[in-house]
Chains A and B, each alone.
Chain A
């Protein structure tokens, strides 16, 4: 039974990684938001499983928090945002997608190597997933770098947050509740500010293309 649950968490980790790659290769903003929602669901699933195995009740709360925030509220806000800004258009990346994926693979190998010595030390049932979580963090980081538009960058940012949350859950059975609440608050405020911000950007530039925001450079 324990082995099976460990494998289940590994499966969730694999799904996280698949979703991270799917987001990296995704051209449409709407699909990106759907994928982000799925990722949130995956995190919730993993958290519930870990909570069940370890009998840690605070993890149930944190799963509920994630469900409310990352699966319901934030996707809802993002949908509203892209509706209001009218940016359901295709997004173009700065590199072509196969190249992106290749770099992604290199990042995955790098992350796995980095996490390997630590995975061996951890006592958690889901120790192997730390490498995957780190890989997801790096992939979403790359997604942020390679996107030219504001909304995908924000989604990349949130994805990174998801991956970190997953890392915390799988490697250490979750951070203490106070900290998780604090993180959730920060994320929420961050989303709010970003929303305000995007309206400001569009008002100023008539576009959400971040390439307008490249005037400040060292000459």
Chain B
């Protein structure tokens, strides 16, 4: 492992851990502003995490060890996935071990654990949330995979670093297939991160909630880890989107100098992305849960069309 590789790898994970709550705070802030509220401030997620970490963790009597382990597994998965997504540099030693398909697998592991843990306690809300989560997951994963396939058709590799390498550092070209993939990917991201058209992260309405139902029984440091993991997931998805569709500004291999300006570029891109996310969330209405399969089927079909378009247009 070369020193620059180690450096950029460490920086990538560190940046993810630090920036993820900030991104969450940024989105929430904008949502508040769009709703004519003052908002809790950018740093609120850090304060929440801090508060939760010092609080005592209460666990139900019926809970099995799985329930205690799940937050760590989920957090680990998310942190690891942030490590293999090229956020700042394409030189990531970890990404040699895991390509885009493994990344989808990592997300799936996290999903399985959180769902099992939710059912573990045996409350009605837990199993309801778990069932909905699995429904969304099983519809969203094929779409996500197809998006990755479309991107890898262009670059000839399923490793995220090579995809970004070929998209960002070759001669500029417009890929219509990526337009479809991008649309499909944004659909999937909304569903996977429990954002508005699919789920509302700000409410505890039992009829509609998905993400909140899963973590209803957690408290203290467990909850902190899960919330942090959720922030990391949003960060990871944002970075995948940026890496696939707006890959400019990500540092090349063996170029430590570029890392310096890769950080502000990333922050800038995330800021715009977060703003857009808040905007879309504010202008759209949450759909009925029965419409979600349709929504995700649309995403899958769009991704498939993207692939077809690639074959027809060769781009």
Contacts and interface: CB of A to CB of B under 8 A. Distances in A.
Contacts, number: 74
Nearest to A127: B313
B176 A13 contact: yes
Interface in A54-113: 96-98, 101-102, 104-105, 108-109, 112
Given A4-B173, A98-B294, A131-B312, A105 B179 contact: no
Q: Which of B173, B174, B315 has the most CB of A within 10 A?
A: B174
Interface string A116-143: 1001000000001101100000000000
Q: Main secondary structure on chain A at its contact with chain B?
A: helix
Given A97-B297, A105-B308, 4 more contacts: A7-B315, A97-B298, A109-B308, A128-B314
Interface of B: 172-177, 179-180, 183, 293-294, 297-298, 301-302, 304-305, 308-309, 311-315
Interface of A: 3-4, 7-8, 10-11, 13-15, 17-18, 21, 25, 96-98, 101-102, 104-105, 108-109, 112, 115-116, 119, 128-129, 131-132
Contacts of A102: 301
A132 B174 contact: no
Give the dominant DSSP class at B's interface.
helix
Given A7-B174, A21-B305, A108-B308, A13 B313 contact: yes
Contacts of B302: 18, 21
A101 B313 contact: no
Given A15-B179, A102-B301, A105-B304, A10 B313 contact: yes
Nearest to B172: A4
A25 B298 contact: yes
Contacts of A97: 294, 297-298
Given A21-B301, A101-B301, A14 B177 contact: yes
Contact of A116 (B173, B293, B304, B312): B312
B179 A18 contact: yes
Nearest to B308: A108
A97 B302 CA distance: 13
B311 A112 contact: yes
Given A8-B174, A10-B174, A10-B176, A105 B301 contact: yes
Contacts of B172: 4
A14 B301 contact: no
A101 B297 contact: yes
Contacts of B312: 112, 115-116, 119, 128, 131-132
Given A101-B298, A102-B301, A14 B308 contact: no
A165 B212 CA distance: 50
Given A10-B174, A98-B294, A17 B301 contact: no
B305 A17 contact: yes
A17 B301 CA distance: 12
A128 B313 contact: yes
Closest A-B pairs by Cβ, 7 of them: A14-B176, A7-B174, A128-B313, A98-B297, A101-B301, A10-B176, A112-B312
A3 B175 CA distance: 12
26 contacts: A4-B173, A4-B174, A7-B176, A8-B174, A10-B174, A11-B179, A14-B309, A15-B176, A17-B305, A97-B298, A98-B293, A98-B297, A98-B301, A101-B297, A102-B301, A104-B301, A105-B301, A105-B304, A108-B305, A108-B308, A109-B308, A112-B308, A116-B312, A131-B312, A132-B309, A132-B313
A21 B180 CA distance: 11
Nearest to B177: A14
A140 to B, nearest CB: 16
A129 B312 CA distance: 8
Nearest to A3: B173
A3 B171 CA distance: 11
Contacts of A101: 297-298, 301
A105 B305 contact: yes
Contacts of B309: 14, 17, 132
